[in-house]
Amino acid sequence: MVVPVQVIRRFVSMAGLLPALAALTALTLPGVASAQEPVVLPRTLPFLDKAPPPPGYRLEMRPNTTMSVVGASIFGGAYVSSVLLAGTLVTVEGNNPEDWAALFAPIVGPFVTMGTGEDVGFGPRGNATAAVLLLVDGVTQVTGAALFIAGLMTDHKIWVRGDIPLKPQAERATPVPELMIGLRGAGLRMRF
């Protein structure tokens, strides 16, 4: 809030400096003069090992979704690049499709291609640059898959506000498979 200069001069000239400062404080800080607004506590707080439990909160275990999302993103990016590379190299004339078809397999595809491809390898007849790129791609896929699985397997502790209802643990722990069959295809979905 901006206080006009004329108001400040009027208070200073009429009563002195101290009442002017008090009036200025009351005008610029309405939260001090008015009633306190209710404090809204956050829904969750991070768990710290040596900290005492905060009042009004209970301890819950939650799945590590951040690690799962990061792992799935890393794996997905590396696997999509393998599939795009394999699709390109299999269709190019002059390449043996069997050398590059293994790249369509997730996780093991880059390693199988390094071992079976004629143009790929660290030997005298192989292309070392392609072998290094396939090695990086394979390690990236393995890392992403490992992070995804570790995120699904591990839980982390958080403090949840006491007035928020509990999540049923049995529903979260039991996967529910759904099989969908239609005219154009089929699908299987799992809910955790």
Asked if residue 136 and residue 67 are part of one domain, the reply reads yes
Same domain, yes or no, for 76 and 141?
yes
Question: Above 80 in pLDDT, residue 6?
Answer: no
Has residue 10 got a pLDDT over 60?
no
- The span from the CA of 67 to the CA of 150, in Å, is 7
Cross-strand bridge partners of residue 179: 188
Q: 53 and 124 share a domain?
A: yes
In a domain, 22, yes or no: yes
Same-domain pairing of 86 and 138: yes
Average model confidence (pLDDT) for the chain? Answer: 78
What total of structural domains would you count in the chain? Answer: 2
At residue 12, the pLDDT reads 46
Per the model's pLDDT, the better-predicted residue between 127 and 47 turns out to be: 47
The pLDDT-based confidence of 40 (bands split at 50, 70, 90) is confident
Dihedrals φ, ψ of 96, to 5°?
Answer: -80, 115
Whether 21 and 45 map to the same domain: the answer is no
Share of the chain above pLDDT 90, in %: 24
Higher pLDDT, 5 or 66: 66
Q: Are 25 and 69 part of one and the same domain?
A: no
Q: Is residue 93 part of a domain?
A: yes
Rg, Å, the chain Cα set = 32
pLDDT of residue 118: 76
Q: What is the pLDDT of residue 130?
A: 85
Domain assignment present for residue 133? The answer is yes
| Structural domain contains residue 179 | no
- Do the domain assignments include residue 153? yes
- Global model pTM greater than 0.85: no
Pair 45, 30 in one domain:
no
Stretch 45-56: mean pLDDT? 86
8 and 45 together in one domain: no
pLDDT bracket for residue 177 (50, 70, 90): confident
Residues 55 and 131 in one domain: yes
Domain range for 79: 41-166
Torsion of CA 82, 101, 132, 114, to 10 degrees: 150
79 is a domain residue: yes
Residue 109 lies in a domain: yes
Residues 58 and 136 in one domain: yes
- Give the best-scoring range by mean pLDDT among 86-90, 165-169, 179-183, 184-188: 86-90
Matching residue, tokens 């040596």: 50
Average pLDDT value for residue range 12-27: 53
**Are 11 and 58 within one domain?**
no
What is the token pair recorded at 166? 């509990």
Among 47-51, 101-105, 144-148, 170-174, which is the least confidently predicted range? 170-174
Q: Check: CB of residue 56 under 8 Å from CB of residue 162.
A: yes
Say what the pLDDT of residue 70 is. Answer: 95
Residue-level pLDDT at 49: 86
My answer on whether 23 and 72 are in the same domain is: no
